[in-house]
Amino acid sequence: MNAAIRAVAKVAAARDTPVWGIINGFDGLIDGRFRPLTRRAGKGAALSPMPDVEYAGGLGGTVLGTARSPRFMTREGRSQAAATYEEYSLEGLIVIGGNGTMEGAHHLYLEHGVRVVGIPASIDNDIGLTRESIGVDTALNTIVEACDRISDTAASHHRAFIVEVMGRNSGYLAMAAAVATAADAVLLPEQGRGPDEIVKAVVDVLHQSFDASREKRRVLILKAEGVQIPTEELVDRVRQEMGSDEIEIRGTILGHIVRGGNPSFRDRLIAGRFGLVAVNAVLDGHTDVMAGWNIEEQNGIPTSDTWIKLFPIPDVIAETEALLDGSSHVTIDRVRRMEEIHGVLSI
């Protein structure tokens, strides 16, 4: 998110447009907690980003802070936010976040006519109409590095590891990381398997992988957060099923370690491109839209970036729901691809 904040400040400054940062998201908008992101260093000087904003692009997290806002979920709270927007004579609001953020921005536009443009940011990669969101690539690099380290330990001790990664109800991180780490199997919520079926599948992979003829030293199984069996329970049940087999099975939950760290090159790149498109969209009069990295969808509004288009936020919300309930062609394609390489992972 910091890379996007920096990009917005730099692009806006180049177009001689001051930018204010809102502390802690919609809560800060309600309370009027602002800080300048641009400045003029002297009389007659050109507008430029604040020094700390210039350096923030390589830092993890967000210098502006983020928070869920129960107040903003009410009409009264959104009315207060809109009143603050008017009080400060703002010309547009750029929001950076996931589906909840986009829904909040959409309501602000519908109810009060606030000009809003969204930038997708979610490590889960579960936002519709964008191939990738800010944070996904950094999270994947962190997962791959962690799994490589776990594989070293597993191979040294002839163990099997079940590694849970974040992603809520989306299995994208687990799927992509499984391919990158040459995992032996991957468990995704999109597969819709029940606990008993999952346990059996894991036991089968372990028997196949640790067959004496394979001379295999480790087994790595990635499990998405949204799979409907806790990792600890899965490990215990697999141990029981394996019985006296001399295979050590461990479970590791990477958790919030996946969300932190300095952003990767790719995240900084797409954040910069999203920031450029978002600022131009506000200044060109667009509203209730989100910038999406999507060259396949023909219904988006073209921008100066060939790869990035603007999509109506209602369409983004609808596609996001389809991603999560399995009806989106993107989700269907992901599951199909995983089924095609299912046997390959365990070879």
Identify the structural domains of the chain with CATH numbers, from first to last: 2-135+263-325 (3.40.50.450), 137-260 (3.40.50.460)
pLDDT computed for residue 244 by the predictor: 63
Distances (CA, A) of 317 to 37, 114, 332: 29, 18, 18
> Rounded to whole angstroms, how far apart are CA atoms 164 and 224?
6
Position 346 scores a pLDDT of 55
> What pLDDT score does 271 carry?
96
Among candidate residues 16, 31, 52, 124, the one labeled active-site is: 124
Residue 124 known to be catalytic? yes
Give the per-residue pLDDT at 209. 84
DSSP tag of 223: E
At 126 the pLDDT is 92
Q: Please state, in angstroms and rounded to a whole number, the distance separating the CA atoms of residues 272 and 11.
A: 9
pLDDT at residue 7, as a whole number: 97
- pLDDT at position 245: 67
Low-confidence ranges of the chain (pLDDT < 70): 212, 244-246, 342-347
pLDDT at 301: 96
